[in-house]
Amino acid sequence: MPYDAVFFDFDGVLVDSEPVHFAAWQAVLGPLGISLDWDLYQRRCVGSSDVDLLNFLAGLAPRPVRGDEMRSIYAEKRVHFQTLALQAQLVSPAIRELIGTVAASLPVAVVTSSERSEVEPILEQGKVRHHLAAAVYGDEVDRRKPAPDPYLLAARRTGARRPLVVEDTDTGEASARAAGFQVLRVRAPGEVPQRLREALHPR
């Protein structure tokens, strides 16, 4: 086997969490007069860093928005997301089975720009956290994706030298390739099990 570990992005790879993020943003942006539709969110917000996302959203407001206002809104959004995500039970049985199967033979890590407080409760609820050899969250690195730092940290924690990275965004793919790793690009969690099995066990 050419790979010695598998590293998964989280949002859009293991879980379809973007609709939940979108709903959480919609719940908190109203007081600022910010209108955000699904198409705009997908085009401009998915895969963005927190700083870029907050700056973009502030630019949509009909009046100047102070930095402390956006930070407060962001904190409120995170609380909404945590509640909605646990209600949605985002980890599918197929993904749960896949993680367990891969982890039986290779170290598995989750590498995400989202913060631990958003992601780890979902991994725990989905009964996959205990399968992970490592997890790297956005608040653990100085430079988030597209910098290579998150994937390099995952490699150090797992001892991997030839991991296969599963990503769904240009930003994530750039991060993994900057770290020198191979990338399996996917479009949605539903295609991950089959695509990954084909990549790990080519005919």
Looking at 69, 88, 107, which one is the last position of a domain? 88
The per-residue pLDDT for 166 is: 98
Write the pLDDT tens digit of every residue in 118-173: 999 999 999 999 999 999 999 999 999 999 999 999 999 999 999 999 999 999 99
Which run of H or E residues covers position 155? helix 149-158
In this structure, are 80 and 101 located in the same domain?
Answer: no
pLDDT digits (tens, 9 = 90+) for 58-114: 999 999 988 888 899 999 999 999 999 999 999 999 999 999 999 999 999 999 998
> Hey, is 185 helix, strand or coil?
strand
Co-location of 49 and 134 in the same domain: no
If asked whether residues 65 and 33 sit together in one domain, one would say yes
Sign, CA torsion 148/6/48/82: negative
Alpha carbon 2 to its chain's center: 25
Domain boundary among 70, 88, 106: 88
Average pLDDT over residues 174-202: 96
User: 44 is in which domain, residue-wise?
Assistant: 18-88
Does residue 172 share a domain with residue 99? yes
Instruction: Give the DSSP H/E element, type plus range, for residue 51.
Output: helix 50-59
- Sequence-distant (≥ 6) Cβ neighbours of residue 111 within 8 angstroms: 7, 8, 9, 10, 135, 136, 150, 151, 153, 154, 165
Both 24 and 95 in one domain: the answer is no
Cα 167–chain centre separation: 9
What confidence score (pLDDT) does residue 1 get?
60
CATH of the domain at 160: 3.40.50.1000
Residues 138 and 170 in one domain: yes
- For position 61, which CATH number holds? 1.10.150.240
Q: Which of 39, 59, 88 is the last residue of a domain?
A: 88
DSSP 8-state code for residue 6: E
Whether residue 184 sits in one domain with residue 142: yes
Query: Are 155 and 112 in a shared domain?
Result: yes
Which pTM was predicted? Answer: 0.88
Q: pLDDT digit string (tens) for 30-55?
A: 888 998 999 999 999 987 777 889 99
Q: What is the spatial order of strands in the sheet that 5-8 belongs to? A: 134-136, 108-111, 5-8, 163-167, 182-185
